[in-house]
Amino acid sequence: MKAFNIPEIYKSEFISSIKKDRQLRDHLKKDFSPSILDFGKVKIHLARHFGFCFGVENAIETAYAAIQENVGKRIYLLSEIIHNPYVNLSLQENGVRFIMDTAGKQLIPWNEISSDDVIIIPAFGTTLEMESILKDKGVKQIYYRSKCPFVEKVWTRVSQIANNDYTVIVHGKPDHEETRATFSHSRSVGPSVIIKDMEEAKMLTDIIMNRRADTDFYELFKDRYSEGFDVAYDLSRIGVVNQTTLLATDTQEIADFLQEAMCEKYNLTKDNVADHFANTKDTLCYATHDNQIAVMNMLSLEADFALVVGGFNSSNSSHLVELCEAKLPTYFIGAADDMVSADEIRHWDIHSKQLKGTFSYMPDKEQVVIHLTSGASCPDILIENVVLKLLSFYGLSLDTLQL
C-alpha cells in the first residue's frame, strides 16, 4: 500500500512502533486481537486497527501539497477535510480557510471566491451542484485527488447499477457530507433514495410489498428521493450502496432485508435474484470494516471501561462508541485533555449530542484495564497523548511498558 507524506505533527513514534510490529508479525491482517500494553498499574488493550485510514492520509497529503504548491495564494477547503478538530485546526493555522461547515452552512460568501483561488475538495467528495458552482466561477486550481478513493468506488458502483436499470438505495445519514455527495451523483444517473437505518428500510419494504400506499413514500422520504421518482416502477429493481463510515454490519443487514423482500415479492431464487436486486457488497470500506472487527475482538477481553478518541462529528468514531458501550462503560473523547484528572472525564454523549462530565470513572483497584481505539480520522499522536495522560495519573511512563 502507498506510503503517504504526512506531517510530523500527526505522528507518534510509540504508536508507529506498535503498528509496525503488528504488521511484521501479521502482514495478512488475519489477527484482529488487540495489542496488550501492560504498564503494571495500568493495562491498555489497544485495538489492532485504528487511526488514519488510506483515504484520510490521501486527503491530508493532498491538502498539505496544495499549501506547499501555492505559496502566496488564497487556499480554501469546501468544508472540513475530515472530521477531526486537531487536523482541521492545523490546516487553518497553515492559512487554509473553510467555505462551509460540515452541515453545508456558508461561512465565506461565494462572491469572495475568485478564479485564482485554490480549492481543496474534502475526503468526503462533494456534490455535482457544488462542482458546477466552482466551474461557473472559473476556479483553475481544484484539488480533487483529496477525495477518498473508496468513496469514489461507491460512486462508480452507483453508475454501474443505475446504468443497468436499478434504483439506487443509499444507506447513509442524510445530513452527512458523504451521503449528500453520493446522492447527488446517484440521482444524476438514475432514480435514487436515501434511507438512514433499518427502521426506514422496513418502511420502504412495506411500500415495495404493497402494505403501505405508494403515496406514503413521498412523505416518508421527503427531500431524499430523486426528481420524478415513480414508486411503482422504480422500486421493482434496486441496489444498495452505503456511506462508507457507517457500521458495515448495519448496511449488510439492510441489504439482506431488502433482498429478502424482493425475493418474496418476485418469487426469486439465488439464480435469478439479480433480476430485481443488484449485488453491491463490494462498496463496503475496508478501513471501516477492519476498525469495527478490531473493536469486536477487543471487546472479547475483560476491561473496566473503553476510551474512543475522535472528532465528535465523526460518523465512524461514533459507531465504534456504539459497539463499545453495548458491552461496558465507554467514554468518547476528543483528546487527552478531556481526561481532566483520574477522577473526572469530559466526554461526548452520541445520543443526546452533548458534552458530559463523569466523576469516579477510574476504578480504585490493583490494575486498571482499559480498551482504547480511535476513529479513522484520528492522528496517532492523539492516541499517544491519551496513553501518556493515563500513565501520568499513576506516575508511570512509556518506559514502564512490560514486554
Q: Is 178 a catalytic residue?
A: yes
Q: Are 235 and 205 in contact (CB under 8 A)?
A: no
**Strand, coil or helix: 213:** coil
How far apart are alpha carbons 241 and 254 in whole angstroms?
10
Write down the residue that cell numbers 439506487 correspond to.
168
CA distance 221 to 214: 12
Beta pairing partners, 240: 169
Contact assessment for residue 80 and residue 88, using Cβ atoms and an 8 Å cutoff? yes
Tracing cell 481544484 back to the chain, one arrives at 142
193 CA to centre of own chain = 20
Q: Exactly one of 178, 200, 322, 384 is catalytic; which is it?
A: 178
Closest CA to 374 of 8, 52, 59: 52
Q: What is the DSSP string of 105-156?
A: -BSS-GGG--TTSEEE--TT---HHHHHHHHHTT--EEEGGGS-HHHHHHHH
Which of left, alpha, beta for 395 (phi over 0: left; psi -120 to 50: alpha)?
Answer: left
Three cell numbers, residue 374: 480511535
Residues known to be catalytic: 178
